[in-house]
Amino acid sequence: MSGTVVPLHKNPAPPDTEPGPNLTLVPEPAPAPVVPLWVRSGRAIRHAITHEPTREAGRFAVRHSMYVVGGTRIVTRRTWDGRTGARYERMLRAAEATGNYEVAAEWEERLQRFREARHRRRMDLLTSPVDVAKGLAVGTGAGIGSLVGLGVVLALANEDVTDVLTPLMAVIEFIRLLITIVSVVWGPALRVGPLLALLALWSVGRKQHAAPNWVLPTTVRSAEGEPITPSIVVKALRDLGVPALRNAIREMGDAGAAMLGPIRIAGCGVEVDVTLPSGVSTNEVQNKRRKLAENLTRHEHEVFITIPEAARTVRLWIADSGALDEPIGPSPLVTDETMTADYTKGKAPWGQDLRGDMASLSLYQRHLLITGLSNQGKTVALRSLALWLALDRSVEFWMGDLKGVGDWAMFDGLATRLIQGPTDEHVIEVTEMVEDAVEEMNRRIQAPPGTTFPLLVVIVDEAQMAFMCPAIGDDKRPYGGAKATSRYYMAVRKIHNQGRAVNVLMWQGTQDPTDQNLPKLVREGAHTRASLALGTESQARMALGDKAVDGGAAPNLLRPGLDQGKLVLASSGIDIPAGQASITVRTHYINDDDAKAITERAKALRDGVTTLHTIDRGEQRDPLADIAAVFGDAPRLLTQDVLKRLAALNEDAYGKWSFGDLTRVLEGTGAEPYKSDGRRVVAADRIRRALATRPEDDGDDASISHID
Ligand SMILES: Nc1ncnc2c1ncn2[C@@H]1O[C@H](COP(=O)(O)OP(=O)(O)OP(=O)(O)O)[C@@H](O)[C@H]1O
């Protein structure tokens, strides 16, 4: 094999015969390349220039020079404004730009008056030199005369004729002294005067911060939390990036504030209506919420843009910086232990609106839907309403908590039904509870007209679990889903459609809405829709409806985690400022302990309620097997006899069965009732065949709705 090795080195060095000491050769570090002098100087200069103290000194120098320039501009503008009609013309242009022609006419009239007065003053100037000369001559003569008169009186008193000229001479002396003083002061004044003028201009510029933003001190530059003034709002609107708006505001110049209504204090912020110039639509401003907020030195969540009734107007609500992050006080439900509720006439105290006014919601005949991302305060918000309602002793609660970690446990002994848990079995129980509510609703609807009913409120928290449940009932209908056969969905829809008038109401809390876990018809069936923080605008549309979102409702702009308990609400039961489609409410936080205390008070108002935790639907039965069993030896039975025998077999399970129930169970088995001699009968052999040939899991499915 050695013969086939090809050496890769030309002359491989002979191997060392004697191994020497193991030395490692450390190469000399390459000498650093010599940097040319001009490069080094450049670096040094750059370092010196970019050094922070140098930059600060530069900013300082530019700032104070610019104050003088800015001050000169301001003083010139003021003088110009004072002496010409420029101000009137500006206001006139602004009024025209906002389409406010009445105000424009007023300004035009003022401008006209100003011009007339100026013309009169100029005409007067033509004749004034003669008048001034005349006045001067008369004044001097009269002055000399009175001084001489005074001298005569003095001469008579002193019996000295020279005193006649004494007062006149004294005045002449005084004038000479003045001339001397002026001649002494004039020289230095000529030198100091411009300096003083410069100082005055600098002072005006400094007060108005008339320098580019980048040279202003950090405290002024950041303007964090700056109070909102008309000029700040106008500047923010001008820089919004809407060309038509920018041009119109430029056109108005200083008079841009004419677009604004008065800036009113509104809760922990201010509110101002802005009449947009023609050519700018309200949604152009609404779509730029973040930019507007930043221009106003606020965070996006601190600025709300709504559309009031007046045409071409947007209403801005701007929070005081950081004010929205402050907690609001405790709920009156917690602080006022004597509080009771009235379902029909009262309103549940829920929190505060952004203006800081109490936000309370009428629950009368309103189905409710609260959505939001997980852990934003949905359950607490929904529970607060239930806690208030519990203080009306006539109200009956049926509750299903499909999370089941005890958020609703305090209603044990207060709610007539309370199902708590996350499994499919719990969904099934909740569905059957809602179906029972439908039955109760139907019973009430069939009652004689005029009958009044106390409120039965069915609350399902985490309702998305019900819509997503895969279980199928013994009637082959799915519990979850959004098909016409879906049991939970259909039961909710029935209550939504007809429950209101007979006081059977449906309240649902649901998480992170999608079309699958919150079908459209269920969303739209709720009269009151509220949403905590959500992920996207499309979710906001699902939660609150297009109208509310188009009108400015934006739960997707609430900050998950930071805005816990803050919700956007579209409903008729709460005071929403005219023209707005929604309102933002900061809800009170009622913790579990306080909730427990409130439910204890509510229990004390009642005589005692026994809460059912599961719905006893009788023992597990197999209807097809039972039907087969009741035949005995009979080859055929009339359907009514089958029903009778089934009822005799088990009154609880079959006592209320109708022909429809029987047909439904036998449908598709090949043993359906048929007509014989004009009467409907069921054949025993067909039943037995169906029983023998049915698939294994049918029996399991049939049993699923019977839970102990
Ligand atoms: N009004 C509120 N003000 C301040 N914090 C609140 C408010 N409501 C709730 N929170 C906070 O949010 C947390 C979650 O509340 P809650 O359990 O109601 O959320 P959820 O949206 O129902 O969550 P999930 O959907 O995951 O069950 C509470 O533990 C509390 O810390």
pLDDT (tens digit, 9 = 90+) per residue, 568-613?
A: 998 888 988 776 778 999 999 999 999 999 999 999 988 777 677 7
Mutate to test the pocket of ligand 1, among 325, 334, 374, 376 (most ligand atoms within 8 A of CB): 376
Q: Which atom of ligand 1 is nearest to the CA of 587?
A: 1
681 vs 332: CA distance, rounded Å? 65
Residue with CA nearest ligand 1 atom 25: 374
Asked whether residue 543 falls in the same domain as residue 689, the answer is no
Q: 230-234, 250-254, 452-456: which has the minimum mean pLDDT?
A: 250-254
Check if the beta carbon of residue 154 is closer than 8 Å to that of residue 166: yes
**C-beta of 496 in contact with ligand 1 (< 6 A):** no
The last residue of one of the domains, among 273, 295, 325, is 325
How far is the centre of ligand 1, averaged over its atoms, from the C-alpha of 586 (Å)? 12
3-class SS at 574? coil
Residue pair 354/298 in contact by the 8 Å Cβ criterion: no
Mean pLDDT for the stretch of residues 189-207: 90
> Which pair of structure tokens corresponds to residue 238?
């001008």
Look up residue 36 and give its two tokens. Answer: 């040319």
Give, using CA atoms, the residue closest to atom 20 of ligand 1. Answer: 375
Cβ of 566 less than 6 Å from ligand 1? no
Quote the pLDDT of residue 256.
78
Query: If pLDDT is split at 50, 70 and 90, which confidence band does 619 have?
Result: low
> What is the SS3 assignment for 23-74?
CCCCCCCCCCCCCCHHHHHHHHHHHHHHCHHHHHHHHHHHHHHHHHHHHHHH
Is 2 annotated as ligand-binding?
Answer: no
Q: What percent of the chain has pLDDT over 90?
A: 42
What is the pLDDT, as a whole number, of residue 142?
Answer: 92
| Binding site membership of 565 for ligand 1 (Cβ less than 6 Å) | yes
Residue 372 CA, closest ligand 1 atom number: 21
- CA of 351, closest atom in ligand 1: 1
Name the DSSP class of 456. E
Q: Cα separation of 583 and 441, whole Å?
A: 32
Q: How far is the CA of 266 from the centre of ligand 1 (A)?
A: 27
User: Does residue 387 belong to any structural domain of this protein?
Assistant: yes
CA 485 – CA 462 distance, rounded (Å): 21
Q: What separation in Å is there between the alpha carbon of 396 and the centre of ligand 1?
A: 25
Using a CB cutoff of 8 Å and minimum separation of 24, what contacts does 233-238 make? 233/257, 233/260, 233/263, 233/272, 233/274, 233/296, 233/316, 234/259, 234/260, 235/295, 236/292, 236/295, 236/296, 237/274, 237/285, 237/292, 237/295
Residue 23 lies in a domain: no
Q: What sections of 659-697 are H helices per DSSP?
A: 659-666, 684-693
Indicate if the pLDDT at residue 664 is higher than 70.
yes
Q: Can you read off the two tokens belonging to residue 140?
A: 């001097």
Residue 92, marked binder: no
Kindly state whether residues 96 and 202 are assigned to the same domain: yes
| Residue 197: predicted pLDDT | 92
Structure tokens at 490: 């259909």
Pick the most confident of 176-185, 300-309, 613-622.
176-185
From the CA of 532, how far away is ligand 1's center (Å)?
A: 10
Least confident of 214-218, 244-248, 315-319, 502-506: 214-218
pLDDT score recorded for residue 309:
78
User: What pTM did the predictor assign?
Assistant: 0.60
- Ligand 1 close to Cβ of residue 372 (< 6 A): yes
- With tokens 């007062």, the residue in question is 167
Q: Are residues 488 and 576 in the same domain?
A: yes
Decide: 513 in ligand 1 pocket, CB within 6 A.
Answer: no
476 has binding-site annotation: no
Angle between helix 37-50 and 52-83 (nearest 10): 60
More reliable by pLDDT, 199 or 227: 199
Q: Reply yes or no on whether the pLDDT at 226 is more than 80.
A: no
Residue 277 lies in a domain: yes
Q: Is 378 in the pocket of ligand 1 (CB under 6 A)?
A: yes
Q: Which among 643, 644, 635 has a CA at the least distance from the CA of 684?
A: 635
Helix (H, G, I), strand (E, B) or coil at 570: strand
pLDDT at residue 172, as a whole number: 92
Q: How far apart are CA 448 and CA 519, in angstroms?
A: 34
pLDDT of residue 22: 61
* pLDDT higher than 60, residue 486: yes
Distances (CA, A) of 494 to 436, 526, 538: 11, 12, 26
ipTM above 0.85, yes or no: yes
Shared domain check, 340 and 310: no
Q: Is the CB of 375 under 6 A from ligand 1?
A: yes
According to the annotation, is 378 in a ligand binding site? yes
CATH number assigned to the domain comprising residue 498: 3.40.50.300
Q: What percent of the chain has pLDDT over 70?
A: 91
For residue 383, the ligand 1 atom closest to its alpha carbon is 18
In a domain, 173, yes or no: yes
Q: Give the C-alpha separation, 203 to 603, whole Å.
A: 71
419 and 287 together in one domain:
no
Residues 385 and 400 in one domain: yes
Q: Report the pLDDT averaged over residues 450-455.
A: 88
Asked if 229 contacts 203 with a C-beta cutoff of 8 angstroms, the reply is no
Q: Span 367-371, mean pLDDT?
A: 95
What pLDDT band is residue 1 in, cutting at 50, 70 and 90? Answer: very low
Residue 430 tokens, joined: 């909740």
Instruction: Looking at the CA of residue 403, tell me the nearest atom of ligand 1.
Output: 27
| pLDDT 10s digits, 100-149 | 788 889 999 999 999 999 999 888 888 888 888 888 999 999 999 999 99
Residue 204 and residue 229 share a domain? no
CATH of the domain at 275: 3.30.980
Q: Is the pLDDT of residue 176 over 90?
A: yes
Pick from 402, 564, 591 the residue to mutate for probing ligand 1's pocket: most ligand atoms within 8 Å of its CB.
Answer: 564
> Which atom of ligand 1 is closest in space to residue 586's alpha carbon?
1
322 marked as binding residue: no
Tell me which residue has its CA closest to atom 30 in ligand 1: 377
Which atom of ligand 1 sits closest to the CA of residue 376?
21
First to last CA, the chain: 86
Statement: residue 483 has pLDDT above 80: yes
> How confident is the model at residue 224, as a pLDDT?
58
Quick check: CB of 377 below 6 Å from ligand 1? yes
Q: What is the CATH number of the domain that holds 680?
A: 1.10.10
**What pLDDT score does 614 carry?**
65
> Is there a binding annotation on residue 450?
no
Q: Is 374 assigned a ligand-binding role in the annotation?
A: yes
Give yes or no for residue 376 CB within 6 A of ligand 1.
yes
Task: Work out the pLDDT band at 683, boundaries 50, 70, 90.
Answer: very high
Identify whether the C-beta of residue 463 lies closer than 8 Å to the C-beta of residue 402: yes
pLDDT mean across residues, the chain: 86
Quick one: pLDDT at residue 464?
A: 94
| pLDDT at 6 (0 to 100) | 52
Between the CA of 379 and the centroid of ligand 1 the distance, in Å, is: 7
| Beta-carbon contacts of residue 69 (< 8 Å; ≥ 6 apart) | 205, 210
Q: How far apart are CA 245 and CA 254, in angstroms?
A: 15
* Whether residues 442 and 517 fall in one domain: yes
Q: Are 551 and 580 in contact (CB under 8 A)?
A: yes
Q: Which residue has the higher pLDDT, 21 or 463?
A: 463
Higher pLDDT, 702 or 630: 630
Q: Collect all residues with Cβ–Cβ distance below 8 Å to 613 and sequence separation of at least 6.
A: 412, 417, 418, 419, 420
> Is residue 465 domain-resident?
yes
Distance 88 CA to ligand 1 centre (A): 56
616 pLDDT tier (thresholds 50, 70, 90) = low
How are beta strands 583-587 and 348-353 bridged, if at all? Answer: antiparallel
Q: How far apart are CA 182 and CA 186, in angstroms?
A: 6
Residue 610 belongs to a domain: no
Mean pLDDT, residues 691-707 taken together: 54
User: How large is the C-alpha radius of gyration of the chain?
Assistant: 45
Whether 95 and 82 share a structural domain: yes
pLDDT interval class at 699 (50, 70, 90) = very low
- Ligand 1 atom 15: residue of nearest CA: 377
Q: How confident is the model at residue 385 (pLDDT cuts 50, 70, 90)?
A: very high
Helices 659-666 + 639-649 axis angle, to 10: 90
Query: Cα angle vertex 480, ends 366, 569, to 5°?
Result: 30
Q: Is 158 annotated as a binding residue?
A: no
Could you identify the atom of ligand 1 that is nearest to the CA of residue 509? 22
- Count, residues in the chain: 708
Q: Quote the pLDDT of residue 701.
A: 43
List helix spans (H) across 99-165.
101-158
Side by side, which strands form the sheet with 396-401? Answer: 358-361, 348-353, 583-587, 566-570, 528-531, 368-372, 504-511, 456-461, 396-401, 417-420
Domain count, the chain: 4
Instruction: State the maximum Cα–Cα separation within the chain, in Å, rounded to a whole number.
Output: 166
Closest C-alpha to 462, from 374, 537, 367: 374
Residue 194 located in a structural domain:
yes
pLDDT at 557 over 90: no
Residues 348, 319: one domain? no
Question: Does 676 contact ligand 1 (Cβ within 6 A)?
Answer: no
Which residue, 310, 325, 340, sits at the end of a domain?
325
CA-to-CA distance for 525 and 559, rounded, in angstroms?
Answer: 27
Alpha carbon distances (Å) from 427 to 352, 398, 400, 704, 707:
35, 14, 8, 12, 11
Q: State whether 478 and 368 are in the same domain.
A: yes
* Mean pLDDT, residues 607-623 taken together: 69
| Candidate from 91-105, 182-196, 444-458, 657-671 with smallest mean pLDDT | 91-105
Cα–Cα distance for residue pair 11/601, rounded to 1 Å: 104
Question: What is the position in ligand 1's atom list of the atom closest to the CA of 588?
Answer: 1
Q: Give the domain extent around 241.
A: 223-325
Last residue of a domain, one of 325, 344, 372: 325
- Assess if residue 22 is contained within a domain: no
In the prediction, which pLDDT does 219 show?
66
Measured torsion, CA atoms of residues 655, 658, 661, 664, in degrees rounded to the nearest 10:
160
Q: Provide φ and ψ at 79, rounded to 5°.
A: -65, -45
The answer to whether residues 124 and 81 belong to one domain is yes
Contacts of 55 (CB under 8 A, 6+ apart): 49
How far apart CA 91 and CA 76 sit, in angstroms, is: 19
